[in-house]
Structure formats: C-alpha cells, structure tokens
Amino acid sequence: MFRKDAQFCSQVREAIAFALSLSHQSLLRDAEVESVIPAPHLGRLEVTLRGSPELSEGLDRARGFIRGVVADDITRKRVPTLVFMVFPKADSLAEEDA
C-alpha cells in the first residue's frame, strides 16, 4: 500500500473509532477498530472490528452516523463505502473456551 493510501486509511480508522465512542449503544462504544484497508480501492474500505456478536446489527443501524463522522473528518470529494467485518473479542473467546 502506498504511503498516502495508508495515511488515508489511518485517518478513516481514527474517525470511525471516534464515531463509535460517541454512540449511545454500549456495544458500539465497546468495539475495537483493528484495521481499515482498501477493498479493492480507496472508494471502498474494509473495516475490521472486534466486539460482541450483536455488533453487526448495531453497525448497520449506525452506518449513516458513522459515514457522517468520517465525511466530516476527511478531505475527499466522496466518502468511501464502508464494509464492516466483525470478529469476536479475544476475551470473549477465552470465556467461551472455559
């Protein structure tokens, strides 16, 4: 990945983390943004998060809000499409194994 692309993805990652921290839903506030990568280009970004199994539903409901925060934070003509990939948190995996 080029330096400018990595810089943009990092900026979007920070904006998404900020948006989640502002949420009224605790499952969104507790989510961790692991990575943001082009999928396959900067117009569509894959956002990898760790959180509870219900996180996908919360993200779907908050998608517009999250994109709005990202739009306010980036300097691009168009806001990229965000594709969310949700994985369980490491501590929740340990609880399941116990």
Confidence of residue 13 (pLDDT cuts 50, 70, 90): very high
| Single pTM value for the model | 0.89
More confident: 97 or 85:
85
pLDDT at 69: 96
| 53 pLDDT higher than 70 | yes
CB atoms under 10 Å from CB of 91, counted, come to 8
Specify the number of domains making up the chain. Answer: 1
Give how far Cα 42 sits from Cα of 1, 35, 75, Å: 11, 14, 13
Q: For the domain that residue 44 is a member of, what is the CATH number? A: 3.30.300.20
Return d(Cα 92, Cα 41) in angstroms, integer.
32
| 89 pLDDT higher than 90 | no
Domain extent, residue 92, equals 3-97
Q: How deeply is 7 buried, as exposed, middle or buried, from its count of CB atoms within 10 A (0-12, 13-18, 19+)?
A: exposed
